[in-house]
Amino acid sequence: MEATVRWTLVTAIAPVAWGTNYFVTHEYLPTGHPLHGAAIRALPAGILLLALCRQLPRGAWWWKASVLGTLNMGSFFALVYLAAQLLPTSVASTIMAASPLVLMLLARVVIAERPRGLPLLGGGIGVVGVCLMLFTGTVNLNALGVLASVTAMVTSSLGYVLAKRWSAEVDILASTSWQLIAGGLVVLPLAVVREGAPPSLDAGAVLGFAYVTVIATAVAFVAWFTGLRRLPAAAVGLIGLLNPVTGVLLGTVVAEETLTLRQVCGLILVLFGIVLGQPVAAAVAARIRTRATGADSRHGTAAGRTGHTGRQETDRSAPQDR
């Protein structure tokens, strides 16, 4: 159980880092260049991790890295970058909050990992909590932004399940670096054709990309894929709900605002949903059921003994009565 808690905490690094990404993208990174933004984010992070692991793909991992890089990095980064520019953070985060449920469904289909009752319940509670946290008034929806966010959720969920299926074959640092580089290389030509020259970056944008590249990409994805290797996909998906939680708390701190009662209730629901879907919660529930079953069994045995004794006493007293 201690190991499970440790891997849960490691995995949580990723959504906490990603929760800051919407804010940094919206506030500091240039608009109108989602493809260049994705390439600038992915390639340096992948090269950094490659310098640390010093391993190149072998055999089937050349095409596996390309597939995972496209799903998890290239298309995902571009779509999230676009969504962050077109949608309020509340809307984009709420759409992504459905990813644990999508991840559970895809895990059932791709790797035959059946979702259990507690994770499904936790996912539903988490989505409700995110809605309470983020939807505090009327918002304007951009259709393209919604489509980008939904597509990012589905493609990344599929990529995460495939990564879980294949990740045991190689080192985590190595597979993460290959995915990032492959994803960046997929996006870069499209960026040049579609968007032309890269955007000019001021000091704030340089620092923003540095943070996004190192913390919200290299460190975060290593933590995330480590969790996928060690924990059930359903549990990892629920941990991802820390993403909108971080976004709300960060916005509150930066704007120096006070959380409303509605947001506090939503925050509690999200955290409860995350905990409910973790293996630790399942283990605790199993222990409670075992103890309850044992108590019922002992009670039934005691009742049986009492009934048996009563019958014996009646039999012995019968001749006296007659």
Whether the Cβ atoms of residue 216 and residue 20 lie closer than 8 Å to each other: yes
Mean pLDDT over residues 33-45, rounded?
Answer: 89
Residue 315 is predicted with a pLDDT of: 45
6 vs 316, more confident: 6
Instruction: State the pLDDT confidence band at 64, using cuts at 50, 70 and 90.
Output: very high
Residue 316 is predicted with a pLDDT of: 43
Residue 312 is predicted with a pLDDT of: 44
Whether the Cβ atoms of residue 164 and residue 229 lie closer than 8 Å to each other: yes
Whether the Cβ atoms of residue 78 and residue 35 lie closer than 8 Å to each other: yes
Is residue 142 classed as helix, strand or coil in its secondary structure? coil
Residue 306 is predicted with a pLDDT of: 52
Instruction: State the pLDDT confidence band at 256, using cuts at 50, 70 and 90.
Output: low
pLDDT > 90 in the chain, percent = 36
Q: Which two tokens stand for residue 57?
A: 């793909």
Which distant-in-sequence residues (6+ apart) come within 8 Å of 262 by Cβ? 132, 133, 136
Q: Is residue 112 scored above 80 in pLDDT?
A: yes
Q: Which two tokens stand for residue 160?
A: 């995460």
Is residue 273 classed as helix, strand or coil in its secondary structure? helix
Q: Is residue 113 scored above 50 in pLDDT?
A: yes
User: What's the predicted TM-score (pTM) here?
Assistant: 0.80
Residue 146 is predicted with a pLDDT of: 87
Task: Indicate the average pLDDT of the chain.
Answer: 83
Q: Is residue 99 scored above 80 in pLDDT?
A: yes
pLDDT > 70 in the chain, percent = 84
Rg of the chain's alpha carbons, rounded to an integer? 26
Q: Is residue 85 scored above 80 in pLDDT?
A: no
Residue 91 is predicted with a pLDDT of: 77
Q: Which two tokens stand for residue 239?
A: 């941990």
What would the pLDDT profile of 203-246 be if each residue is shown by its tens digit? Answer: 999 999 999 999 999 999 999 999 999 999 989 999 999 988 88
Residue 171 is predicted with a pLDDT of: 92
Task: Kindly state the DSSP code that residue 196 receives in the 8-state scheme.
Answer: -
Q: State how far the Cα of 219 lies from the Cα of 240, in Å rounded to an integer.
A: 15
What would the pLDDT profile of 271-284 be if each residue is shown by its tens digit? Answer: 999 998 888 766 66
Residue-wise over 255-290: b if at least 16 C-beta within 10 A, else e? eeeeeeeebeebbebbbebbebbbbebbeeeeeeee
Residue 38 is predicted with a pLDDT of: 87
Q: Is residue 94 scored above 80 in pLDDT?
A: no
Residue 301 is predicted with a pLDDT of: 57
Residue 313 is predicted with a pLDDT of: 44
